[in-house]
Amino acid sequence: MSEDHQLRVSKIKSGTVIDHVVGGQALNVLAILGIDGSEGEEVSVGINVPSDRLARKDIVKVESRELSQDEVDVLSLIAPDATINIVRDYDVIEKHRVDRPDVVEDVLSCPNPDCITAGGEPVTSRFEVLEDGVRCSYCGTIVRESIADLIDT
Ligand code: CTP
Ligand code: ZN
């Protein structure tokens, strides 16, 4: 993209930019972060914008908010190439790639109604992260699509 054209999504003063999100996943990123705008959060989203690294990417910019490790872990499942940029006073002061964890605990719920984690038992959910999805450690159910729908809210 040539430098002399305007930025599609404005820069932010302070907060977090989640860049290089797989095209079309930005709304799932917002779901993972529990952002629906109802609390007056200042958020900018670019969907399917041109990118050097990916053919098309999504980008999510959240003012005045940092992400927890749990949030980053779940983000990595739907946006494995995402970059998390921490912005202060318009400068990127920290940048890191998301890391796909081997296991995620207590962040997703198993969609299998017969799973022990679905009953009233005090069992912490646990999923192994596969190349292309996640597998419940208790019942073996594999979920490849719509992982964001499993996020505990
Ligand atoms: N950004 C922003 N507001 C700022 C600073 C940066 O929204 N005040 C955004 C930029 O638009 C970019 C991302 O944060 O999408 C990362 O910024 P920067 O590191 O400056 O860009 P690049 O060098 O292009 O990043 P990368 O190498 O990760 O692609
Ligand atoms: Zn299960």
CATH number for the domain harbouring residue 80? 3.30.70.140
CA distance 87 to 93: 6
Q: What range does the domain containing 22 cover?
A: 15-97
**Which of 70, 97, 124 is a domain's end point?**
97
121 CB near ligand 1 (under 6 Å): no
Instruction: Name the residue with the closest Cα to ligand 1, atom 4.
Output: 11
Token pair of 131 as six digits: 């190349």
Give me the interface pTM, i.e. the ipTM: 0.96
31 and 74 both lie in a single domain: yes
Q: Which of 9, 110, 10 is nearest to 50 (CA)?
A: 9
CB under 5 Å of ion ligand 2: residues:
110, 112, 115, 136, 138-139, 141
Buried b (16+ CB within 10 A) or exposed e, 98-128: beebeebeebbbbeeeebebbeeeeeebbbe
28 and 82 both lie in a single domain: yes
Domain count, the chain: 2
77 and 129 both lie in a single domain: no
**Does 1 fall in a domain?**
no
CA distance 22 to 47: 9
pLDDT single digits (tens) 33-84: 889 899 999 999 999 998 887 689 999 999 999 998 888 998 999 999 999 9
Ligand 1 center–CA 95 separation, angstroms? 9
41 and 84 both lie in a single domain: yes
